[in-house]
Homo-oligomer: A and B are copies of this chain.
């Protein structure tokens, strides 16, 4: 399994190829910042290895074996992210780039020991669930803040966009995982929100709200 193959599987998974959905070469190319023709080449290669189902002009979806491999890479990525934050004091906007490299290290013992050192975390620093060793994938009962009705409240449990600029914005505005958020008012005009965050009032744009996952309180 080469680094490139691993990156393709991961991307296909993130685009939904684990749910039997057919992902187009164009979508993959755009996500990976490469050309569709390169994706076609790799699709054939991965199909030969039994990791994807590939139908010409239709797209690719992951096989069971492909899902398993993708999950193991995602598991490694997220565990390394937790390691960087908890053990090396990285901030959550710094971890992605390094984890992209670390996820390709080949040693089952290494990642199991990292898991143990971190006391088997369930979520990464962005709130994304960490697949278990046997490929189980936690699903969370969450929704986007932008979809919460007025006057409901919940706890921030994850981010949809985990780019550095967005994460830095959240830091600046004291928005962090675990913080309580209540929707006070929704502006019809631009969908912006008036919220109560940890007791303080705040206004945020729709674009922000559409990238925050919240778990509704019972």
Chain A interfacial positions (CB closer than 8 Å to B)? 84, 87-90, 94, 97-98, 101-102, 105-107, 109-110, 113-114, 117
Report the Cα distance A89→B113, complex, angstroms.
Answer: 8
Q: Which residues of B contact A107 (CB under 8 A)?
A: 97-98, 101
Interface pair B113/A105, CB less than 8 Å apart: no
Among B88, B101, B109, contact of A113 (Cβ-Cβ < 8 Å): B88
Q: How far is the CB of A111 from chain B (nearest CB, A)?
A: 10
Interface pair A101/B90, CB less than 8 Å apart: no
Interface pair B94/A101, CB less than 8 Å apart: no
Q: Which residues of B contact A98 (CB under 8 A)?
A: 105, 107, 109-110
Q: Which residues of B contact A97 (CB under 8 A)?
A: 107
Q: Which residues of B contact A117 (CB under 8 A)?
A: 87-88
Known: A88-B114, A88-B117, A114-B88. A94 touches B109 (CB 8 A): yes
Minimal Cβ-Cβ distance residue in B for A87: B117
Q: Which residues of B contact A87 (CB under 8 A)?
A: 117
Interface pair A101/B106, CB less than 8 Å apart: yes
16 residue pairs of the A-B complex, CB under 8 angstroms, read A84-B110, A87-B117, A88-B110, A88-B114, A88-B117, A90-B109, A94-B109, A97-B107, A98-B105, A98-B107, A98-B109, A98-B110, A101-B105, A101-B106, A101-B107, A102-B105
Q: Which residues of B contact A109 (CB under 8 A)?
A: 90, 94, 98
Return the 10 tightest CB-CB contacts between A and B, nearest first.
A88-B113, A98-B107, A101-B105, A98-B110, A102-B105, A88-B117, A87-B117, A101-B106, A89-B113, A88-B114
Report the Cα distance A84→B146, complex, angstroms.
Answer: 44
Report the Cα distance A84→B105, complex, angstroms.
Answer: 13
